Amino acid sequence: MREVPAPRAARRVGTPAAAPHIVLIMTDQHRADLSARAGFPLDTTPFLDHLAEQGTDFQRGYTSSPLCVPARESLLTGRFPSAHRVTQNSTAEAASYDRDLLDVLGEAGYRRVFAGKPHMHRGPDDFDAYRGPYFHTDGPERNPQHEAFDRWLDELDHGVAHEPTPFPLEASLPYRIVSDAMDEISGTDPSVPTFLWVSFPEPHNPYQVPEPYFSMFPAEQIPERLHGPEVARAKGGHWAWLQELTEEKRPGYDDERARYRANYCGQLRLLDDQVRRLMEHVWTTLGDDVLVIMVSDHGDYVAEYGLQRKGAGMPEVLMRIPFFFSGGPVAARTRAELVSIVDILPTVAELVGSAVPDGATGRSLAPLLLDPGRTSPEFDDLYAERGFGGLTYRADERPPLHFPYEGRTFDELNTVTQSGRSRMLRRGDLKLIVHSDGSGELYDLAADPAEVHDLFHDPAHAADRADLLWRLTQWMLRAQDELPAGAYTAKRAPHNWAFDPDGATA
């Protein structure tokens, strides 16, 4: 397996030729814990693991929101959903920000190329080259095989295929997306810095995969989940509502879990092979000075709690995401800091020598990437958000949805499961979630990784709850929107870290 080029010396951009090329690899609904490097017993992503091991692997990376578009807007703007104002998948055009990732890289002289699934406020005219859009059941159909494959995907109705996909690998969306990306950088002048964003719809539903990937991880060999539907019912609220709706629409769906989990693992290996194909072409075309950023927008239950996809709550399986930087000036190290998708924009801005945009609340990870010995208490806790607002729908309500209650079709991200507001804080092994209906949750992730035993009202954890509530308040103040900028100049901390770097950083 090819070695990732050795880290380059840290430098700021003086001319475009001084900047590393940047490849942003983004997946959709990709759980962080289903890889060998995370301790999973099956080797689902060997090439991505190899890249991560030769770079800085943040094993406690998180999304800002367990929902596609709000999370992607956080990546672009360095802001939490309550600040960029996109809290639903249907409101990307409402994004509020000063300068985003494309602005920063354009100002630094980058050629900006996109291929894949967008789901964001930026469109074709905002890139120098754009190939797409791809979504979960379709993409640009350039031949009859593509058309037939996309129709077949649509007919799965976001379900689980029990047979191998009856189309060759070349028809799959990841293969087509990588081919488009390769086309766009072929012949590129390597002296001009390139930003290549490759955004895969997978391993999102529908859960299907061609051979050899369908048989690569036999269903009977997939490790069993920790808990079943009884936990969703016991949690109540949105959890019970979603579990009951899914069972109502697709009776016995949980009996498919072994096949669903096997297909999901097969999708991960298919993606891994396509990332390898992409990067071999990138290195051949652009040279060795390439910074790779790997991230997902959020996770997937993968049958935990008797649920598929996403929707209810803020469990680790939805909130934790694969998150690493490799190549370019990045040192090789596995890190335990709590970091967020919100941190990507300030990090890239610092690495290319650009000012962090006004209103960005993410923390630049550049000092951690460039100095393996650097630490900061700024990364001892982490914040995230969920919900589009309004009152929280109860589990016994059936309000109008954007799909019918009758029939098999459903969308787990709906009026009910996204109602109200939730805010999350993780510190150490403790995780606090508060909801706008007045309820709260507290978990010890070391003892209870699936968040089954709620300690919020446990007197033995009253001091922990008070401490976390105080820290959550501080994060909510920090995430508050600072835009628009006015006559008064706000004081900005170095690297967007609130702590004094000389007094609180080792």
Question: In the predicted model, what is the mean pLDDT of residues 431-450?
Answer: 98
Query: Has residue 4 been placed in a domain?
Result: no
Q: What pLDDT does 278 receive?
A: 98
- At 45-94, the pLDDT tens digits run 999 999 999 999 999 999 999 999 999 999 999 999 999 999 999 999 99
DSSP for 72-109, written as a single string: HHHHHHS--HHHH---STT-GGG---SS-HHHHHHHTT
Strands 194-199 and 21-27, sheet pairing: parallel
pLDDT at 505 over 70: no
> How large a percentage of the chain has pLDDT more than 70?
95
Q: How many domains does the chain have?
A: 1
Question: In the predicted model, what is the mean pLDDT of residues 272-300?
Answer: 97
Supply φ then ψ for residue 296, to 5 degrees: -125, 165
Query: Has residue 251 been placed in a domain?
Result: yes
Q: What pLDDT does 133 receive?
A: 97
Query: Has residue 416 been placed in a domain?
Result: no
What whole-number distance in Å separates Cα of residue 329 and Cα of residue 195? Answer: 16
Query: Has residue 173 been placed in a domain?
Result: yes
Q: What pLDDT does 484 receive?
A: 94
Residue-range definition of the domain harbouring residue 71: 16-375
Query: Has residue 5 been placed in a domain?
Result: no
Residue pair 402/81 in contact by the 8 Å Cβ criterion: no
- At 197-230, the pLDDT tens digits run 999 999 999 999 999 999 999 999 999 999 999 9
Comparing CA positions, the residue from 245, 164, 178 lying closest to residue 209 is 164
Distances 377 to 366, 503, 504 between C-alpha atoms, Å = 15, 11, 7
Domain CATH code at residue 185: 3.40.720.10
**Overall pTM > 0.85:** yes
Supply φ then ψ for residue 103, to 5 degrees: -65, -45
Q: What pLDDT does 241 receive?
A: 95
Task: Tell me which H or E stretch contains 260.
Answer: helix 257-286
Distances 93 to 97, 192, 333, 389 between C-alpha atoms, Å = 12, 31, 38, 18
Comparing 10-14, 48-52, 80-84, 109-113, the range with the smallest average pLDDT is 10-14
Comparing 413-417, 432-436, 473-477, the range with the smallest average pLDDT is 413-417
Identify the band that residue 152 occupies on the pLDDT scale cut at 50, 70 and 90.
Answer: very high
pLDDT at 428 over 70: yes
- At 452-465, the pLDDT tens digits run 999 999 999 999 99
Question: In the predicted model, what is the mean pLDDT of residues 172-181?
Answer: 98
Query: Has residue 245 been placed in a domain?
Result: yes
Comparing CA positions, the residue from 274, 137, 140, 307 lying closest to residue 208 is 137
Identify the band that residue 13 occupies on the pLDDT scale cut at 50, 70 and 90.
Answer: very low
Q: What pLDDT does 18 receive?
A: 53
Query: Has residue 394 been placed in a domain?
Result: no
- At 225-281, the pLDDT tens digits run 999 999 999 999 999 999 999 999 999 999 999 999 999 999 999 999 999 999 999
Identify the band that residue 4 occupies on the pLDDT scale cut at 50, 70 and 90.
Answer: low
What whole-number distance in Å separates Cα of residue 75 and Cα of residue 344? Answer: 6
Comparing CA positions, the residue from 306, 312, 308 lying closest to residue 441 is 312
- At 355-411, the pLDDT tens digits run 999 999 999 999 999 999 999 999 999 999 999 999 999 999 999 998 899 999 988
Q: Rounded mean pLDDT of the chain?
A: 94
Distances 265 to 204, 305, 449, 485 between C-alpha atoms, Å = 11, 18, 21, 46
Residue pair 244/201 in contact by the 8 Å Cβ criterion: no
Write the single-letter amino acid at 426: R
DSSP for residue 229: H
